[in-house]
Amino acid sequence: MSRFIRTAVLIVAGIIWLLPVYLLVINAAKSPADFTSKEAWLPNGFALFENMSDALSLSGLGDAVFSTLIYAVVSPIVAVLVGAAAGFAIVALRLKHGFAWFVVIFGGTVFPLQMVLIPLFDGYSRVGLFDTRLGMVLIYTAISVPFSAFVMRNFFSGIAHNVFEAAVVDGASTWRIFTRVYIPMSLSALVAIFILQATFVWNDLLLGLTLSQSDDVRPIVTTLSGMQSTYGGAQLSTVLAAGILVSLPTVVLFLFTQKFFAKGLALGQY
Amino acid sequence: MSRRDSTSYQWSARGFIAPGVILVAVLLYAPLLWTTYLSFTEYNGLGDPDWVGLANYGAMFADPEFFGSLGNTLLWVAGTLIVPVGLGLGLALLTFDLKGGIWLRLPFLIPYAISGIGVGLIWSFILQSDGALDQALALVGVVDPPRWLLDAPLNTVVMILASSWQGVGVNALLFTIGLQSIPKEPLEAARLDGARGARLFGSILWPMLRPLTAVVIGLSIVASLKTFDIVQGMTKGGPGRASETLALTMYKDTFVNSDYGLGSAIAVFLTIVTLVASVLYLRQQLSKKNEI
C-alpha of B65 from chain center: 22
Chain A hits for B267, Cβ within 8 Å: 112, 114-115, 117-118
State the average pLDDT over residues A163-186: 91
Task: Identify the pLDDT of residue B2.
Answer: 45
Q: What chain B residue is nearest to A255 in terms of C-alpha separation?
A: B110
- pLDDT tens digits for range B131-152: 889 888 888 888 888 889 888 8
> A203 CB near a chain B CB, below 8 Å?
yes
State the average pLDDT over residues B69-75: 95
Task: Identify the pLDDT of residue B3.
Answer: 44
Chain B hits for A205, Cβ within 8 Å: 115-117, 228-229, 232
Of B17, B125, B170, the CB nearest to A27: B125
Burial of B257 (0-12, 13-18, 19+ CB in 10 A): exposed
User: Given an 8 Å threshold on Cβ–Cβ distance, is B132 in contact with A266?
Assistant: no
A10, A206, A207: which to substitute to probe chain B, counting the most B Cβ within 10 Å?
A: A10
Chain A hits for B177, Cβ within 8 Å: 262, 266
State the average pLDDT over residues B28-55: 91
Of A101, A113, A265, the CB nearest to B21: A101
Contact at 8 Å (CB) between B168 and B150? no
User: Given an 8 Å threshold on Cβ–Cβ distance, is A17 in contact with B218?
Assistant: no
> A23 CB near a chain B CB, below 8 Å?
yes
Topology of domain A55-266 in CATH is: MetI-like fold (1.10.3720)
Confidence of residue A233 (pLDDT cuts 50, 70, 90): low
Task: Identify the pLDDT of residue B134.
Answer: 86
CATH code for residues B65-255? 1.10.3720.10
Burial of A259 (0-12, 13-18, 19+ CB in 10 A): exposed
Of B107, B122, B236, the CB nearest to A24: B122
Task: Identify the pLDDT of residue B288.
Answer: 63
Whether residue A161 has pLDDT greater than 60: yes
Confidence of residue B289 (pLDDT cuts 50, 70, 90): low
**How close A170 gets to chain B, by Cα (Å)?**
16
Q: What chain B residue is nearest to A200 in terms of C-alpha separation?
A: B115
Chain A hits for B24, Cβ within 8 Å: 104-105, 108, 142, 145-146
Contact at 8 Å (CB) between A112 and B270? yes
Closest CA to A8 of B94, B170, B251: B94
**Which of residues 143 through 202 in chain A touch B, CB cutoff 8 A?**
143, 145-146, 149, 165, 174, 178, 199, 202
Distance of alpha carbon B178 from alpha carbon B190, whole angstroms = 18
> A27 CB near a chain B CB, below 8 Å?
yes
Structure ipTM over 0.90, yes or no: no
Task: Identify the pLDDT of residue A6.
Answer: 87
Whether residue A187 has pLDDT greater than 60: yes
User: Given an 8 Å threshold on Cβ–Cβ distance, is A250 in contact with B115?
Assistant: yes
Distance of alpha carbon A250 from alpha carbon A144, whole angstroms = 17
| Phi and psi based region of residue B45 (left: phi greater than 0; alpha: psi -120 to 50; beta: remaining) | left
Whether residue B1 has pLDDT greater than 50: no
